[in-house]
Amino acid sequence: MYEWIKALHIIAVISWMAGMLYLPRLFVYHCEAEVGSKQSETFKVMEWRLLKAIINPAMIVTWLAGLYLVWAGHWYLSGWFHAKLTLVLILSGVHGFFSRCVKDFAADRNRRTQKFYRIINEVPTLLMILIVICVVVKPF
């Protein structure tokens, strides 16, 4: 059972991360589109669908499967798990922030620059690298 849930966890993680890496890229391109243009309206639909159909459900499955693994594997006292949990909480916060950005774009009230989205684009990548090192290498 544990191995099956771990497989599910990894599948959900891949989907979550795919969305978390792609969504800020869409924001970068969306900044270039004029408000009210056909292109801007298309980006709105793409961002909304990516968030609702992939990123949100994938995050929920990742969390549920991950919490099962912690419980079944008795990992709650391990140092690597505490580090991973902290990083995953930050990642979930970034997810919440992206969700707000989607709403801002949808209402044509984005005030953030393209440069800002280019920089924030790197945050999920950095977090993912650290999270995978924590759980695979288990350095502490």
Asked if residue 63 binds ligand HEM (CB under 6 A), the reply is: yes
Cα separation values, 115 from 69, 74, 111, 112, 119, Å: 38, 43, 12, 8, 6
Known binding residues for heme: 9, 84
From candidates 66, 83, 105, 110, binder to ligand HEM by CB under 6 A: 66
21 lines the binding site for ligand HEM (CB under 6 A): no
Find the shortest distance in angstroms from Cβ 42 to ligand HEM: 29
CA neighbours closer than 13 Å in the CB half-sphere of residue 107: 8
The site that binds ligand HEM (CB under 6 A) totals a number of residues, namely: 20
Q: Which stretch binds ligand HEM (CB under 6 A): 24-32, 36-44, 61-69, 107-115?
A: 61-69
Q: Does 136 bind ligand HEM (CB under 6 A)?
A: yes
Instruction: Give percent helix, percent strand, percent coil of the chain, each to the nearest 5.
Output: 85, 0, 15
* Footprint of ligand HEM on 88-117 (CB under 6 A): 88, 91
CA 112 to chain centre: 19
Residue 112 beta carbon to ligand HEM: minimum distance, rounded to whole angstroms: 24
| DSSP 8-state class, residue 110 | -
For ligand HEM, the binding residues (CB under 6 A) are 6, 9-10, 13, 17, 62-63, 66-67, 69-70, 73, 75, 88, 91, 128, 131-132, 135-136
